[in-house]
Amino acid sequence: MPKPPIAPARANSVTTHGITRQDPYAWMRDREDPEVRAYLEAENTYTDEMVAGSASLRTELYDEMLARIDQNDQSVPVRDGPWLYYSRMVEGQDYGVHCRRPLAEGRPEDEAGDEQVYLDENELAQGTEFFSLGDLDIRTTHDLAAYTVDLSGDERYTLFVRDLSTGETQPTRIEDVADEVLWAMDGTSLLYLRLDDAHRPHQVWRHVLGTDPSADTMIYEDTDEAFFVGIRLTRSERFIVIASHSQVTSEEHLLDARDPASALRCVAPRRQDVEYAVEHHGDSLLVLTNLDAPTFAIRRASVDAPDLWQPMVDCREDVTLEDVEAFEDWLVIVQRRNALRELVIRQVSDGSEHVIEMPDPVYAAWVGTNPSYRTQTLRFGYTSMGVPSSVFDYDLRARTRTLRKQQPVHGFDPESVVTERLWVKAPDGEEVPVSLVRRREDVGKAIPVWLSGYGAYGSNNPASFSSTRVSLLRRGIGVAIAHVRGGADKGRAWYEDGKLLRKTNTFSDFIAVGDALREQGIASKLAIYGGSAGGLLIGAVVNERPELFDVAVADVPFVDVLNTMLDETLPLTVVEWEEWGNPNEREAFELIASYAPYENVKAQDYPAMLLLAGWTDPRVSYWEPAKLAARLRTVATGTNPLLLRTHFDAGHGGPSGRYAAYEETAFIYAFVLDSLGG
């Protein structure tokens, strides 16, 4: 049995609010220290040695994952002006190929002309270890494309412009920008975002084609360190919206899309804890807001008086409004009820409404790509844990749907599995929703269960299909999602009840789900998984109830919460205070200290654990899982494996390229299956 590397503990005490803590692995933060890289490489070597015996299983998993998908796949074409746009994947290639076909007005899609490849990500990625296409926007005249590229995983992008008629990249090249890019409707202006030292998009700049980028104009800046800036074009193409959002507060400005050199107009000045987002519709603005509406409401305002909001769709206790999509004759209101998303269709002319019916008891649905403002057809997406991702075109007048495509999954029969919604009582009496899929033949048996969770930022954890998880199902492993507090799966209040001083509800919810799966005879063993903030969840629950779980995977986990939230020099720390609390305040400090995984490692037996890190990760620094691994090695008892794997050519999203992603999933699954005993 190979011996694990032991990181040297260096004396380092930290005093906050008169409380002194020991942080013996703080030295790992120094990226330039050769000992840091040497330690991480030693951990990688140890991991490779420990998993060598499962190499054939990894190959088996990888091969079946590839065999299950259509490696030559294509998206459903989207009509935009005189073109059909789509992307496709080519067998043997890692990245997407972006294509279009000309289409005469009024002609059906099957009469479109020859394909034109206008951007091949594989060509852009040649010679790189990492590649990520950030954003891609086509000029309204359909002759130029602007796009952003990240070649390191640090999420600092470079902006390029390509001539679609010749395929040549223009001289325009703008370094060190955020991923978003947007053409204005004047045809010559290109808007993009600059990042500050904390990796926060804080400025909007305008570039005019044919000019040197050094002459670009900054048109907006947000100096508040808690706010992120974003840009979007309304579907009507009338306005560019410049949005500043913190975790709990919003402020949006309107810019005439046809005259981007004109003055900005603020929709409504920011007010602490008031969130809103605007969409343009006719002579009005539709405002989705929580002002005097805890579960959100939709207000209407005049374009000429954007801050005077009038009632339109009231707040309701049993429904949380998530979005409103505006078309000329229709509104699509996205709402959440009973931990499920509903798409409500509202006819503008008479205000009548209906909900698009969904076939499964547990599902995920979303509004798809709908560039046309004047349409009678809505494209939406649908999936469940037992139904592959599907694209529908919905006739808004006839209320009928046409399936345009369902993700091909070879060798999988949806009838072979059963999808269920369970409800588990948390310690305080709240009902936690759980989505579960298992083979029909396994119903009534106690089987190993893969249980995942997230529980932060009000993010929903959709009950969606995964072709890779079929590898678990076919081996008799159930797959479950715990929709814990901190997410918004049950609405806005569900989020509020799992953040700041109520953060520990996230962890007690997850533990309650684990207990229930065992007590109800569903789970004989439990493998748990979480990434990023979900990795924090995994770290917290294994500290609290290690005996409940058999194997745990924490992917780029946010586990050094207290030290990170105390360090304002780190990217995103100040922004995150409204989510986790500011530990410079005593009450927040004490709460975070009570659950932060790195701070709460104990001398106890832990489940088999796999920690994953990204060297260039700007969101959760590589040293967080590294420090946790080092502390666990010296404190934890028992003989279960503890593995740390650092990707030196990847960031927060892990290795780039679809084949590398499948290899990573096969690696994780093999570790889990081996730890579960087969």
* Residues with active-site annotation: 532, 617, 652
Question: Six-digit token pair at 2?
Answer: 């190979």
Are 328 and 310 in contact by the 8 Å Cβ rule? The answer is no
CB 456 within 8 A of CB 579: yes
Closest residue by Cα to residue 596 from 580, 585, 618, 576: 580
505 in Cβ contact with 428 (< 8 Å) = yes
Residues 6+ apart with CB under 8 A from 623: 25, 28, 29, 36, 560
> Do the beta carbons of residue 298 and residue 309 sit within 8 Å?
no
| Residue 366 φ/ψ region, left for φ over 0, alpha for ψ in the -120 to 50 degree band, beta for the rest | beta
For 152-246, list the strands marked E by DSSP: 157-163, 169-183, 189-195, 201-208, 217-221, 228-233, 239-245
| Burial (CB count within 10 angstroms: exposed 0-12, middle 13-18, buried 19+), residue 569 | exposed
What's the Rg (C-alpha) of the chain?
25
CB atoms within 10 A of CB 271: 12
Query: Is 581 in contact with 229 (CB distance < 8 Å)?
Result: no
Q: Are the C-beta atoms of 421 and 435 separated by less than 8 Å?
A: yes
| Burial (CB count within 10 angstroms: exposed 0-12, middle 13-18, buried 19+), residue 193 | buried
The stretches of 525-572 forming alpha helices (DSSP H) are 533-544, 561-566
Whole-number Å distance between alpha carbons of 271 and 251: 8
Q: Are 437 and 478 a contacting pair, CB within 8 Å?
A: yes
* DSSP labels, 451-463: EEE---TT-----
Sign, CA dihedral 213-216-222-227, equals negative
Residue 665 Ramachandran class (φ > 0 left, ψ -120 to 50 alpha, else beta): alpha
| Euclidean distance between CA atoms 459 and 422, whole angstroms | 20
Q: Reduced to 3 DSSP states, what percent helix, strand and coil does the chain have, rounded to the nearest 5?
A: 25, 35, 40
For the record, the structure tokens of 582 come out as 């500011």
Torsion-angle region of 80 (φ positive above 0: left; ψ -120 to 50: alpha; else: beta): beta
CB neighbour list of residue 569: distance below 8 Å, 6 or more residues apart: none
